[in-house]
Amino acid sequence: MDDCSAHGPTPLSLDEAVGRVVQGYGAVTGTEGVPLRRALGRVLAEQVTAPVNVPPADVSAMDGWAFAAEAGGDAGFRRLEVVGRVPAGSVFDGVVGPGQAVRIFTGAPVPKGVDSVAMQEDCRAEDGGVLVPAGLKRGANLRSAGEDMTAGSVVLHPGQRLRAQEVGLAAAVGRAALTVRKRLSVVLFSTGDELREPGTPKPDHAIYDANRYTLAAQLDALGVDVRDLGILPDRPDATRAALAEAAGTADLIVTSGGVSVGEEDHVKAAVNALGSIDLWTLAIKPGKPLALGRVGDTPFLGLPGNPVSAMVTFLLVGRPLVLRLSGAESIATPRSLVVAGFSFTKKPGRREFLRARLERGEDGRPVAIKFPSNSSGVLTSMVEADGLVDMPAEATAVNPGDLVDFLPFTGLFA
């Protein structure tokens, strides 16, 4: 059902819209086991614990010489007798006594009797001995057993999206495979007799369908399986048949265009006939109209038709929806503070996302330079930009030197 007032749909804030996504949707896919080399970008579906300490023993953090430090050592050097050599992967068989040292390498377990390691750059080897700094503190350049992970501790949690570091952590505790959520299946199509497929001839009044390709790329970046139905003819029967077929095979249906409030649109009518639809007016710019509903039991997302609006609303609302359906716990939008390198004014009440590129300021801090046009039809602005400056609804102006929230595309397109 539409969220309507006497004058049309009641505008939703972006936070309210994302809140509805969080409350109304969860994981819809099953699980499968994958080897670590195929786990990148997948959503973890199990709890991973460390079966052993990492590192398993006290080890050297540096290449150098290992020995027992003396309390209150003076400046200068101590001469120690070198009694062995410990490469990584080997163990010294014996005890290092007072006045003795062993040559040791990064990652090698420290022998009994050792409590410190001096870096090789700070030492000087002599015949049968070594000069080490006399004032070195106990524990220097050592990594204690279990410093990274202790046996039995939980190191990865269900719902985490696996980055390179999580994959490496799983390998560090001996896992060769992980249980993850199956990839979300998404059906994508466009409607409109004015659209033509890129690479084909078109009359002057027609336009090439860019939205389907930008949305497919955004979905690909989130690690889902996309099935592209192309451009559907602008007919009610064709639209309804495509939606019904997609609902039987997909976890999510995504379209762009035809979701403006009050517009006669075959997609809206077909979704309502096959399920339900909510038409939202978002209190943001660009990207005012958005539709969320279900075709049967399959979630449906209808995005605006203007190319910038389609991309921005997908990043702000569609991305959290895809992550929720994929089983991810965190849907936070990455952001950072940067310095404004522009002036801009607006009326209060509507949150605006300004396209901007980043430059390095004189003090080394990143400075946001706003793209000249605010039009939601200028796709080149998204190419020129590095991300979006987030102007809160209550804000009325930005001036050079102000700190502003910046949403980097590098974090949003992943």
What is the per-residue pLDDT for 1?
40
Q: Is residue 42's pLDDT more than 80? A: yes
Cα 292 from Cα 276, distance rounded (Å):
9
Contact between 390 and 346 (Cβ < 8 Å): no
What is the per-residue pLDDT for 4?
44
Per-residue confidence band for 57, with pLDDT thresholds at 50, 70 and 90: very high
Higher pLDDT, 265 or 304: 304
The model's pLDDT over 144-154, given as tens digits with 9 standing for 90+, comes to 999 999 999 99
What is the per-residue pLDDT for 18?
95
Mean pLDDT of 108-121: 96
The model's pLDDT over 326-382, given as tens digits with 9 standing for 90+, comes to 999 999 999 999 999 999 999 999 999 999 999 999 999 999 999 999 999 999 999
What is the per-residue pLDDT for 188?
96
Per-residue confidence band for 266, with pLDDT thresholds at 50, 70 and 90: confident
Cα 329 from Cα 43, distance rounded (Å):
9
- Asked whether this chain's domains 4-29+183-325 and 59-143 adopt the same fold, the reply is no
Q: How is residue 228 written in tokens?
A: 């592209």
Mean pLDDT of 104-114: 96
Q: What is the mean pLDDT of the chain?
A: 92
Q: Which of 15-24, 183-192, 264-273 has the lowest mean pLDDT?
A: 264-273
What is the per-residue pLDDT for 267?
85
Q: 291 - beta bridge partners? A: 279, 302
Per-residue confidence band for 96, with pLDDT thresholds at 50, 70 and 90: very high
Structure pTM? 0.88
What is the per-residue pLDDT for 263?
52
What is the per-residue pLDDT for 300?
96
State the sign of the Cα–Cα–Cα–Cα dihedral 34, 37, 42, 43.
Answer: positive
The model's pLDDT over 276-308, given as tens digits with 9 standing for 90+, comes to 988 888 999 998 889 999 999 999 999 988 999
- The CATH number given to 4-29+183-325 is 3.40.980.10
Alpha helices, DSSP H, located in 211-351: 211-221, 236-247, 266-274, 307-313, 319-325
CATH top class, domain 336-412: mainly beta
Per-residue confidence band for 264, with pLDDT thresholds at 50, 70 and 90: low
Q: Is residue 3's pLDDT more than 50? A: no
Mean pLDDT of 42-60: 96
What is the per-residue pLDDT for 353?
97
Per-residue confidence band for 8, with pLDDT thresholds at 50, 70 and 90: low
Q: Is residue 115's pLDDT more than 80? A: yes
What is the per-residue pLDDT for 309?
94
Alpha helices, DSSP H, located in 150-192: 164-172
The superfamily CATH assigns to domain 59-143 is: Molybdopterin biosynthesis moea protein, domain 3. (2.170.190.11)
What is the per-residue pLDDT for 259?
65
Q: Domain 32-53+149-181: which topology? A: Molybdopterin biosynthesis moea protein, domain 2 (3.90.105)
Residue given tokens 């049967």 in the structure block: 296
Segment (H or E) for 14: helix 14-24
Per-residue confidence band for 109, with pLDDT thresholds at 50, 70 and 90: very high
What is the per-residue pLDDT for 5?
43
Domain range summary for the chain, segments of one domain joined by +: 4-29+183-325, 32-53+149-181, 59-143, 336-412
The model's pLDDT over 383-412, given as tens digits with 9 standing for 90+, comes to 999 999 999 999 999 999 999 999 999 999
Q: Which of 46-60, 83-97, 224-238, 256-270 has the lowest mean pLDDT?
A: 256-270
Burial of 26 (0-12, 13-18, 19+ CB in 10 A): exposed
Segment (H or E) for 187: strand 185-191
